[in-house]
Amino acid sequence: MTASLELSGRGTYRLRNVISLLWSSLYVSLRRLIRGPHLPNWNWALEVTTHFLRTQSRIAFDMPHIVEGREYQDALIFHSPAVARLRIEPVAGPPRGHWYLPPPERRVATALYLHGGGYAYHARAHRNLIALVAWAAKAGTFALDYRLIPEHPFPAQLDDALAAYEWLLASGVDPRRLLLAGDSAGGNLVLSLLLSLRDRKLPLPALSLCICPWTDLTNSGANMRANEDHDWVEKRMADRWARWLCQGRDPRDPLLSPVMADLRGLPPVYVQAGSAEILYDMICAFVQRAQEQGCPILLDVWKHMPHDFQAYGDVLPQSQEALARIEQIVDACVRRKPDDIAYPFQSQP
C-alpha cells in the first residue's frame, strides 16, 4: 500500500493545493537533477513533501483570517496505510475528539494524543501522524480536539487536556498503561499537562512521548533561523502563535515554556527530534535541563530530518526507525519485558 491524498473543502483551495504539489514535484525533481539532494539522506518523497508543506504553511499563515488558513491547510492532507489499519471513531464530547483504535489483539495501552499545529490549526492535518503513533505505540488513542488560538488563549488548551485526562481515568483506564503523546505544540501541551498532573497530585501516566516538541515560547536558539531553509515551519509563524497563546502572559511561564520548569518528580519522558528542524536547539536545552534535575528522560535525534518527519511512515527509512523506536520504548515502559528489552530510563535520585 502507498500513501494517498485526501481533498476537501472549497474547490479553489483544493485546486491551489494540487497545483502547489505538482509544482513542488517538478521543482524538486529539477533541483535534485542539477544539485542533488537538499540534505544528505533526503529522498525524493521527503524533499517534495517538505517543499509542498512549506508552501502550504506559508499560504495558510498569510491568509487574512485564521479560519481561512485552517480551511486551506485542511484542503489537502496526506494519508499513509496506517490510517486504513485503524478504526477511527468521533467523540462528540465533552471531551471532543477521535478514537484511533488498532485491532484489539494489538492494543497494550491507552494514549491521550495532543496534536500539533502551533495551537492554531485543527487535528485533521495531523491525522496521519496520530494514526502512525497509535499503531506504533499499540495504543487505543484518544486524539483531543482542544480549543484553538487566537480565539482561546492559554490556559484553555491545558484545561481541555486536564479534562480529557481525568475523563480517561474516570472511564477506568489504568494509569500504569496510560500514555501521553503529542507533536510540536502538542508536545508542549503534553509537558504542561505533566507538570499540572504532578502539582495536582493526580495519577501520572506510565510514559510521555514528545515528538519534536515546542519547549520554549520565547523561540530562542540559533536553529530557529539557521534551519529555516531545511524545515517547513518558520520562526515568524512560531512568534505569532506564541503571542496568540500567551495574550499578555509571560512566555517564560513554566507551563508555557517547559524548558524553564522544575521537572523533578515527572514520569519517563521520551523525546524525538530532527537535527534540521527549527526547534532543535530548544529541544536539546529542555532535555539537558531535565537530565540535570533527575527527570527520567531519553532523547533520540535523526540527523538532517525536518520537523515531524515521523509522519512520512513507510516512505522514509528514518521515519520507520523513529516509529519502531516508539514501539520499543512503549514495550519497555508499559509491558515491562526485561528479558527482551532493556529499560531505557534511569531511576530518579
Q: Which residues contact 61 (CB under 8 A, 6 or more apart)?
A: 69, 234, 236, 237, 240
346 is a domain residue? no
The count of structural domains within the chain is: 2
Residue type, 31: R
First to last CA, the chain: 47
Here the CATH number for the domain that contains residue 317 is: 3.40.50.1820
Task: Based on the fold, state whether residues 17 and 156 are members of the same structural domain.
Answer: no
Q: What is the DSSP string of 289-326?
A: HHHHTT--EEEEEETT--TTGGGGGGG-HHHHHHHHHH
Task: Based on the fold, state whether residues 143 and 236 are members of the same structural domain.
Answer: yes
95 is a domain residue? yes
Evaluate the CA torsion angle 2, 126, 116, 300 in order and state its sign.
negative
For residue 42, the model assigns a pLDDT of 97
- Domain boundary residue among 47, 79, 111? 79
30 is a domain residue? yes
Task: Based on the fold, state whether residues 71 and 97 are members of the same structural domain.
Answer: no
Task: Based on the fold, state whether residues 178 and 245 are members of the same structural domain.
Answer: yes
For residue 49, the model assigns a pLDDT of 97
Task: Based on the fold, state whether residues 141 and 277 are members of the same structural domain.
Answer: yes
The DSSP bridge partners found for residue 210 are 182, 271
- Domain boundary residue among 35, 61, 79? 79
283 is a domain residue? yes
Task: Based on the fold, state whether residues 115 and 71 are members of the same structural domain.
Answer: no
- Domain boundary residue among 27, 51, 79? 79
Of 78, 80, 79, 71, the residue nearest 16 (C-alpha): 71
Task: Based on the fold, state whether residues 38 and 98 are members of the same structural domain.
Answer: no
Active site residues: 184, 277, 307
Domain span at 25: 1-79
Dihedral Cα 322, 193, 57, 235, nearest 10 deg: -100
Task: Based on the fold, state whether residues 75 and 89 are members of the same structural domain.
Answer: no
Considering the chain, what is the average pLDDT of its residues?
Answer: 95
> What pLDDT digit, counting tens, does each position of 38-57 carry?
999 999 999 999 999 999 99
310 is a domain residue? yes
**Cell numbers placing 210:** 514528545
Give the global pTM.
0.96
Task: Based on the fold, state whether residues 146 and 65 are members of the same structural domain.
Answer: no
347 is a domain residue? no
Among all chains, which residue has been given the C-alpha cell 520565547? 218
> What pLDDT digit, counting tens, does each position of 103-114 carry?
999 999 999 999
Task: Based on the fold, state whether residues 243 and 306 are members of the same structural domain.
Answer: yes
349 is a domain residue? no
Cα–Cα distance between 128 and 258 in angstroms, integer?
26
Task: Based on the fold, state whether residues 71 and 109 are members of the same structural domain.
Answer: no
344 is a domain residue? no
> What pLDDT digit, counting tens, does each position of 21-34 carry?
999 999 999 999 99
> What pLDDT digit, counting tens, does each position of 86-128 carry?
999 999 989 999 999 999 999 999 999 999 999 999 999 999 9
Task: Based on the fold, state whether residues 145 and 289 are members of the same structural domain.
Answer: yes
Rg of the Cα trace of the chain? Answer: 19
- The residue ranges of the chain whose pLDDT is under 50 are 1, 338-340, 347-349
**Cell numbers placing 213:** 516538541
Rounded to 5, what percent of the chain is helix, strand, coil? 50, 15, 35
